[in-house]
Amino acid sequence: MSQDPLVVFTPSGKRGRFPVGTPVLTAARKLGVDLDSVCGGRGICSKCQVAPSFGEFSKHGLTSREEALSDWNRVEARYDEKRGLKPGRRLGCQAEIRGDVVIDVPPESQVHRQIVRKAASARAIPMDPATRLYYVEVAEPDMHEPSGDLQRLETALRREWGIERLEADLSVMAGLQPTLRKGGWKVTAALYRDHAGGAHKLTALFPGFHEAGLYGLAIDLGSTTIAAHLTDLDTGAVIASSGLMNPQIRFGEDLMSRVSYAMMNPGGDQEMTRAVREAIDRLAVEIAGEAGIDPAHILELTFVCNPVMHHLLLGLDPVELGQAPFALATSESARLTARDLDLGQLRDAARVYVLPCIAGHVGADAAAVALSEEPGKSEDLVLMVDVGTNAEILLGDTSRVLACSSPTGPAFEGAQISSGQRAAPGAIEAIRIDPETKEPRFRVIGCELWSDEPGFLDEVGASGITGICGSGIIEAVAELRIAGLMDPSGLIGSAEQTGSARCVPEGRTHEYLIWDASAEGGPRITVTQGDIRAIQLAKSALYAGARLLMDERGVEKVDRVVLAGAFGAHISPRHAMVLGMIPDVPLDKVTSAGNAAGTGARIALCNIARRAEIERMVREITKVETAIEPRFQEHFVAANAIPHKTDAFPELSRLVTLPQVSFGAGADREGGRRRRRRG
Ligand code: FES
């Protein structure tokens, strides 16, 4: 008795025997091969494309001949004529098995195709979004068997896709009947399924086969900016990224001032909620316009944000977050609709997922960093730092992950710095001070040349040098220390003490002059003693937070440091180490993760299982509260010196020798005793 033909699918290697005449898609489904289909085998969607391979396959023990699949049928010919099939491709739902065959499933035909992430982490995310499209043909109404249109749609989804429970949003119900009739009873349903299970929710219905695809928005809602990535929910590709300033800035620059605004002004929280929601709505339309897609095809949104932004987005009063014990209204993830957030430009039923917060000061943005960078899967002990107005810090490896937030204040962003400014063209972003001559040279954003290179001034123009941004001030302070112009306590020496005329008196202290265009009406850019104090407070808070987590973990050193966020991407690890912002590790063990929070939002958008994973991860993270921990204060004071009063920095000493200078008996009189408020 002859055996049924043997079918081998690659790359999975899944194999089985099937009777002659079995469609390839049916064989794939029976074997659990990852082969996509939206139209249910009707030859409309082309998602099921496969590439048969022919020849002798000794590794599979078969010979695959051309006649192993049925000839092209009318459906394939029509599809090829209208849209074109790549050479060698067949529609899996149309091609039938006739003999032994090897069939390759190309990446774009796999349901759970992998999106390859940037090389730095090089981990792939399998596509498995919460919302998917299903094409169905619905029975027409029949007077003899009365039933609702929704019920017949439900029956079709059950019959063709095995979907058992369906719930329809009221807004979709309103369009159900006209859509069914417009599509001639052929429709594409967008169904959302929660990662915790339950019914499928009908979030949109399109007449006929919906070819325009589905999109999602991954939104990183920061206190200063709102960044959105428009993502194709089929391929995972980011098709447009855009951002705008958070309009809440008009209610207060930093988070604490926004909490205060809510405290002082009845209804102030609602005002801020309205402002941010309107901005997100506008951003969604703008980004869709940029990409040339209809905003009505955006059916998923994910949000990452700090706890205060989280509350203000959801319309929760943030007042409790402004005072100990910093209680969140909820730390759980939120699953909502666009209507709940008043996003009127999107479909009412579009789904929103807000990542969970870790604690009252460690938000969903830190959770997103954990999702993206996976400290809990690291074999070595990794410290992850996301620096903003608060530094959110994670420390962990496979055994345990700890998290805390440290009130660094806005100095690292160039705020509260005399010549400070946001990172924008004209801002000094990098600086070097010659240890011999004590002369500075620098680079500004928007110009590739260093200030001592020919043509620099022509390229920027004197007025093109406007201030110092966060990465610039960190380098400036570290360079002052390396050049011996500032002592370990942070005191700038006088011209006599340092031998540099650039150290000029400023009241009872000194400042270092970087650039003076005041004669031409331009800026005079200096690093003042006050600037250094502000940076010392910020870096001490960051280091103390890291040390507190290390204490909690019982370790004296970490194996590597990951800097997340835009700030992390621009900061020089060497200068950060000289400053003592981060614990001492070999320099090549300090890496930047880029916008890890944004990446986390994208992961949650593309893969439903990762939503469950971050919720579990957040529950398991050990939360450490810096505000109530006395050791934080001790670490804070000791970290005030540059790089540190007591901790050794052996790796740093291998790279630079810091001059032993001292510029005053009362050098450490301020000693970092002040404690910054949260912000
Ligand atoms: Fe849609 Fe084959 S399953 S074309």
Same domain, 285 and 371: no
Q: pLDDT tens for residues 260-297?
A: 899 888 999 999 999 999 999 999 999 999 999 999 99
CATH number at residue 35: 3.10.20.30
Work out the pLDDT band at 90, boundaries 50, 70, 90. Answer: very high
Same domain, 501 and 551: no
Q: Probe ligand 1: pick from 33, 39, 50, 109, max atoms within 8 Å of CB?
A: 39
Alpha-carbon distance values, 511 to 429, 522, 523, 529 (Å): 19, 18, 15, 6
DSSP conformation class of 638: H
Same domain, 505 and 546: no
Whole-number mean pLDDT of the chain? Answer: 90
Query: What's phi and psi for 550, nearest 5 deg?
Result: -65, -40
- Ligand 1 near 48 CB (within 6 A): yes
One-letter-per-residue 3-state SS of 587-635:
HHHEEEEECHHHHHHHHHHHEHHHHHHHHHHHHHCEECCCCCCHHHHHH
Q: Which long-range contacts (CB under 8 A, 24 or more apart) does 179-184 make?
A: 179/205, 179/206, 179/207, 180/138, 180/149, 180/153, 180/205, 180/207, 182/207, 183/207, 183/208, 184/208
Q: Quick one: pLDDT at residue 665?
A: 57
Taking the C-alpha atoms of residue 260 and residue 276, their distance in angstroms, rounded to an integer, is: 17
User: Could you give the number of structural domains in the chain?
Assistant: 5
Please check whether residue 51 is in contact with residue 88, taking contact to mean a CB–CB distance below 8 angstroms. Answer: yes
Alpha-carbon distance values, 300 to 192, 194, 391 (Å): 9, 12, 29
Ligand 1 geometric centre to CA of 161 (Å): 13
* pLDDT value at 131 more than 90: yes
Ligand 1 geometric centre to CA of 154 (Å): 21
Can you tell me whether residue 569 is helix, strand or coil?
A: helix
Same domain, 332 and 256: yes
Same domain, 15 and 150: no
- Ligand 1 near 23 CB (within 6 A): no
Work out the pLDDT band at 115, boundaries 50, 70, 90. Answer: low
Single residue among 207, 227, 254 that ends a domain in this structure: 207
Ligand 1 geometric centre to CA of 47 (Å): 6
Q: pLDDT tens for residues 615-643?
A: 999 999 999 988 778 899 999 999 999 99
Cα 535 from chain centre = 27
Single residue among 74, 109, 144 that ends a domain in this structure: 109
Same domain, 13 and 102: yes
Alpha-carbon distance values, 278 to 288, 305, 343 (Å): 16, 17, 7
Rounded to 10 deg, the angle between the 149-161 and 170-182 helix axes is: 80
- Of the candidates 219, 308, 218, the one whose C-alpha atom is nearest the C-alpha of residue 262 is 308
Atom of ligand 1 nearest to the CA of 135: 1
Q: Quick one: pLDDT at residue 135?
A: 96
In a domain, 568, yes or no: yes
* pLDDT value at 543 more than 90: yes
Q: Quick one: pLDDT at residue 462?
A: 59
Q: Probe ligand 1: pick from 29, 76, 91, 209, max atoms within 8 Å of CB?
A: 91
Ligand 1 geometric centre to CA of 612 (Å): 31
- Ligand 1 near 111 CB (within 6 A): no
Same domain, 557 and 634: yes
Taking the C-alpha atoms of residue 246 and residue 243, their distance in angstroms, rounded to an integer, is: 9
Q: pLDDT tens for residues 303-332?
A: 999 999 999 999 999 999 888 788 899 999
Classify 673 in phi/psi space as left (phi over 0), alpha (psi -120 to 50) or beta.
Answer: alpha
Taking the C-alpha atoms of residue 156 and residue 241, their distance in angstroms, rounded to an integer, is: 38
Same domain, 402 and 427: no
Same domain, 647 and 603: yes
Among all chains, which residue has been given the structure tokens 């070097």? Answer: 432
Same domain, 641 and 599: yes
Work out the pLDDT band at 667, boundaries 50, 70, 90. Answer: very low
Taking the C-alpha atoms of residue 452 and residue 469, their distance in angstroms, rounded to an integer, is: 20
- Ligand 1 near 315 CB (within 6 A): no
Ligand 1 geometric centre to CA of 408 (Å): 55
Enumerate residues 6+ apart whose C-beta is below 8 A from 654: none
Ligand 1 geometric centre to CA of 48 (Å): 5
Same domain, 157 and 140: yes
* pLDDT value at 211 more than 80: yes
Q: Which residues pair with 502 in a beta bridge?
A: none
Q: Which residues pair with 66 in a beta bridge?
A: none
- Ligand 1 near 43 CB (within 6 A): yes
DSSP string, 362-374: B-HHHHHHHHHH-
> Which of 164-173, 330-339, 623-632 has the weakest average pLDDT?
623-632
Q: Which amino acid is at 241?
A: S
Please check whether residue 347 is in contact with residue 169, taking contact to mean a CB–CB distance below 8 angstroms. Answer: no
> What is the span of the domain harbouring residue 79?
6-109
Q: Probe ligand 1: pick from 24, 35, 47, max atoms within 8 Å of CB?
A: 47
Half-sphere exposure in the Cβ direction for 110 (13 Å, CA): 19
Ligand 1 geometric centre to CA of 38 (Å): 7
Atom of ligand 1 nearest to the CA of 36: 3
Same domain, 546 and 620: yes
